[in-house]
Amino acid sequence: MKKNALLIIDPQNDFCNPGNGNGKGIGSLYVNSAEKDMDRLAEWIRKNKDEIDFIGVTIDSHQPNDISHPNFWMDKNGNFPAPFTIITSKDVESGIWTPRFDPKRCLDYLKDLENQGEYPHVIWPVHCVIGSEGAAIYKPLMDAMIDWTVKGKFYQTVAKGTFPFTEHFGAFRAQIPDANRPETQLNQALIKTLETYQNIYLAGEAKSHCVANSLKQVLDEAPTLAAKFIVLEDTMSNVAGFENLADPIYEKATKMGVRFSNTKDAAL
């Protein structure tokens, strides 16, 4: 069995680059301190490059018209919701917000999401648009990954979020998978790859959302992997205002054997 895998969640400019701070352009959904998280991770990769056998990177990948973006929705006056607005199925049924695309599908999605009971439907600033600078990997981390490949290694990228009618926080499946869209369904190939490693180090952004959901999906869909996971806590930060949202996930992870460490202590 190969030894050390590193799974990095969404280390992209729109989350990790402070940008201009106005919620537009690069860094549009900046997570406070994310650049420091990724700088620490880049240094850790360089220090341990000979001992890291695999790097997998999820890439949040959205269309401009995405169910989580403001321009997907309108009120009765034709206005888009402000970022961080929460939209419920009751809001749609009462006409407060109307989806501009496939209304029945969207209403069904909101009801399924609410029945799931995990995360509300939040409208985010437009972020990680496919092909944009904001969707690119944060450069200091990218440089460290490229340096890691010099001895003949290959990193793997995993696109998520390309189907615009469902959120796709976690690395392994969309929040509400679509039976007709394989890209939203459980990523068995990634699970099988990770199963071949003794240790799986987890890093990335954001701790409250995409990292937490990736971990939860492991616990739910591939629980035998739980004891292999080591969460590098100093390589992730929460979205402001959601600091405690994922606490139950991390508590469950601890009970199921997931280990927690940091880049100072996790010397390979």
Smallest Cα–Cα separation from 110: which of 97, 121, 95? 121
> To which residue do tokens 């399924």 refer?
112
Question: Are the C-beta atoms of residues 38 and 138 closer than 8 Å to each other?
Answer: yes
* Residues 28, 87 share a domain: no
Average pLDDT, stretch 32-56? 97
* Residues 32, 83 share a domain: no
Half-sphere exposure of 144 (CA within 13 A, CB side): 23
Residue 122 inside a domain? The answer is no
* Residues 177, 111 share a domain: no
* Residues 248, 169 share a domain: yes
Residue 130 inside a domain? The answer is no
pLDDT confidence of residue 21: 54
| Domain enclosing residue 86, as ranges | 70-116
* Residues 145, 107 share a domain: no
Answer yes or no: is pLDDT of 20 > 90. no
* Residues 76, 168 share a domain: no
* Residues 78, 47 share a domain: no
CA distance 224 to 196: 12
Q: What is the pLDDT of residues 60-88, one digit of tens each?
A: 999 999 999 999 999 999 999 999 999 99
* Residues 101, 171 share a domain: no
Count of domains in the chain?
Answer: 2
* Residues 74, 54 share a domain: no
Question: Tell me, what CATH number does 26's domain have?
Answer: 3.40.50.850
Averaged pLDDT of the chain = 95
Q: What is the pLDDT of residues 103-120, one digit of tens each?
A: 999 999 999 999 998 899
Residue 266 inside a domain? The answer is no
pLDDT confidence of residue 19: 76
Banded pLDDT at 1 (limits 50, 70, 90): low
Q: Is 101 helix (H, G, I), strand (E, B) or coil?
A: coil
Indicate the pTM of the whole model.
0.95
* Residues 204, 148 share a domain: yes
The reply to whether omega before 206 is within 30° of 0 (cis) is yes
- CA 78 to the chain's CA centroid: 30
Q: What percent of the chain has pLDDT over 70?
A: 97
3-state secondary structure 156-204: EEEEECCCCCCCCCCCCCCCCCCCCCHHHCCCHHHHHHHHCEEEEEEEE
Answer yes or no: is pLDDT of 58 > 70. yes
Answer yes or no: is pLDDT of 25 > 90. no
